[in-house]
Amino acid sequence: MGSQLRERVPPRVVDVCASCICDPVTRLKFLRLAKPAPPLPPEPPRRPPKRRRPAIALTVLAAALLMAPLGRVAPTEAPPPPPPVGPLEPPQDSPAPRVWLVEQSNGTEIYSNGLRIEGGPGVPGQPRLYRAFDRNAPDGSRWQWRAEPAGIVFHSSESDVASFEPEMNGILKRQGELLLAYARQRRCYHFLIDRFGRVHRVVEESARADHAGHSIWSDDDWVYVNLNHSFLGVCFEAQTQPGVAVSPAQIHSARVLTEMLRSRYNIPARNCITHAQVSVNPRNFRVGYHTDWARDFPFAQLGLPDNYLQPLPSLTFFGFDADASFVKLAGPDLRHAVSLAQAQVRHAAAGRGIPVARYRAELQEAYARAAAAATNPAGS
């Protein structure tokens, strides 16, 4: 009945009737029944229900389309295994550049490639004389006497180094002077390259220097033992710990110095190596007694091949081995060279049909004989 009343009675009549009702509660009830209710908001149109697509199926389809060539879906096959890692390509030797002395005066030498050497002829020392052993005679029965250097060993001083800044100029100069004086007193190297790139001759080139200690290296034809006599020593005033880099001036000077020495003595590029590669400890037959330049040596910037890739002859010829601390310290190329040398030792022992330990013991005996005879005219 209330809904019929709302539809038939005009609003003005309803208001007049309501004014005649004295009781407010009764009047409110009358108005609720008489006045039309506010219209309800229209319902939104209903959309047709969406078809639910499997999320997993769409993901797989999208991945397949991305991986497949245009126009077809790639088959779901496992990727092929990576190729096995084999021996690295041995570094290729390069011819020695031609460099000559242009001028010499007041203890300074100028060379055709821009090299400048200070320090005069250097501190005199014991004349160079050593045996180079035929690498095809592991017992050391074939050798020849030599008096010319066969290679270069690069060192770092591992001395105190100040930050390379203009404000530290006085300290840098003082540190370099102290290091040079110490190196000359101890006959440590043949050449020292200070932080400013100046090349100082320390020991005369015709004499031995105490730079390599117990050490081993080889080239295509010869094996060298205890390189103080057989190799020249070139030292950077530097520390080889991570984050301490040599200066660009030192790199340039090392390059032109290497060019001059290779030209003067016909040194093969593969015989230009770092102290960490040659240093050994005969007491425990481990390599890396000294570890300067065990990684990050700038071979390419000096015009040299990456000689870190060469298997260590101390392992292959004389039964030395590398412990975990050396392997951890070495760079990736040198670690690979150590692994390659160890594999060569195992292969050689298998070829002889003897245990690796016994084969190493035989090689170590050969080292003892070679070390005793390397610089001893009375040695056999």
pLDDT at res. 346: 96
pLDDT at res. 297: 95
Q: Which two tokens stand for residue 159?
A: 């001395």
pLDDT at res. 53: 47
pLDDT at res. 69: 39
Structure confidence by residue, pLDDT tens digits, 18-35: 565 656 656 666 666 655
pLDDT at res. 19: 62
141: CB partners within 8 A, 6+ apart: none
CA distance 67 to 272: 48
Structure confidence by residue, pLDDT tens digits, 75-89: 333 333 333 334 444
Q: Are 292 and 240 in contact (CB under 8 A)?
A: yes
**Percent share of the chain, pLDDT over 70:** 74
List every span in the chain annotated with CATH 3.40.80.10: 101-373
pLDDT at res. 325: 93
Structure confidence by residue, pLDDT tens digits, 97-141: 899 999 999 999 999 999 999 999 999 999 999 999 999 986 778
pLDDT at res. 80: 37
pTM of the shown model: 0.76
CA distance 253 to 237: 12
CA distance 275 to 290: 7
* Among 130, 151, 96, 115, CA closest to 274: 151
pLDDT at res. 5: 44
pLDDT at res. 6: 46
Collect the ranges in the chain with pLDDT lower than 50.
1-8, 40-41, 43, 48-90
CA distance 301 to 304: 7
pLDDT at res. 379: 55
pLDDT at res. 3: 46
108-132 burial, b at 16+ Cβ within 10 Å, e below that, comes to: ebebebebebebeebbebeebebbb
Domain 101-373 maps to which CATH number in 3.40.190.10, 3.40.50.2000, 3.40.80.10, 3.40.50.300? 3.40.80.10
